[in-house]
Structure 1
Amino acid sequence: MVDGAIAGAVGSAALNIVSFLDMATRARPASNTPEEAAGRLADAAHVGLGPEDQAANRRSGLGAVLGYGVGIAAGALFGVLAARRRVPLPLAVGMLGGGVMATSDGSMTVLGVTDPRTWRRVDWLSDIVPHLAYGLAAAATWRRLRPPSRRGR
C-alpha cells in the first residue's frame, strides 16, 4: 500500500506538470473546478472557511490538496489490488489514469461543479492527457518500486 501511495504521489506530480505545461503552451487559465469542489465540500460539511478573501485562498489550497489526496489514495488502492500480481503496463496505466479521472470528474459532477456532457473536444483532451500522464508515471513508479523479485511479499 505504501509503494502504491508513493506511486500515486509521483503520478499526481506528473498530472500537475502536464497540466501546467498545457496552460503555458496554450496560454489557458488554470481551472477553477478543484477550488469550487473544495468549497462545495466545505459547505456540505458545514465548515466555514472564513471571510471571502481568506475563503478563496483556502478553497484554492484545499482544491490542490484534494487532488493530491485522490491521486495518492488511488495509488494506494492500486498497490493493495496489484500487490500479488503483475499487472501489464497498459492495463495499469488505464486503471490508474482512468480511475483517478473517473473519481475526480465524477465527484465534481455530483457536486454540480461541472457537467462532462457539455465539454468540447479540447476540454476532454485537457482532462485525458494529464490523467494518462498520471497513470503512466504512477504505473512506472509502481513497477520500479515493486520489481518482480519483491512482488508477492
Structure 2
Amino acid sequence: MNSKKLTHLDDSGQARMVDVGNKPDTERMAVARGEVHLQASTLELIREGLLKKGDVLGVAQIAGILGAKKTAELIPLCHPIVMNHIAVKVELADDLPGVRITATARATGKTGVEMEALTAVSVAALTVYDMVKAVEKNARIENIHLVEKHGGLSGDVHNE
C-alpha cells in the first residue's frame, strides 16, 4: 500500500485545491498517449478523406490542443497554468487498427502538466470517435496513459 497522502484531500478528507504558492517555478514536461480502435474499413475511410465530417486527424489535433488549454476548466482541482507548448500528434495506426494519439505538454511553473497532456489525448480521442460514429458503431477509446513526465519536486516518471 502507498504510504503517501492524497494531496487533494484535507485533514478531514474533504476535497481541496493544493496550495502551490511556495513551490519554485521549474520547467515541466509531460507526454501522454492513447488509442481509438476502429475497423480497418473505417481507418481506410479516414485515410482517403471520405468521412462527411472532414479531416479527422486535423480536427482531432486541434481539439486536443484546445482540450489541453481548457484542462483547469474541466478538472475541478487542477490549477490553471500557462502552457509554453502543446503538441498533439494524431496518426493512423494499421497495427491497431485505428488512430494513435500522442500529446506533449510543456510549461514553466509551480505544478505539472500531466493533466494537460492527458486531457489533450482524451479530447482528441473523443473527437475521432465523434467524427467516425456515423460509420463505426464499435469504435473504442483505449489505453490513455501518462508516458513520461519531467520537472518538479516529485521527480521524473517513465511509464514506457
TM-score normalised to the size of structure 2? 0.36
Which protein is bigger by CA-based radius of gyration?
A: 2
* TM-score, length basis structure 1: 0.38
- Name the one with the larger strand percent: 2
Larger helix percent? 1
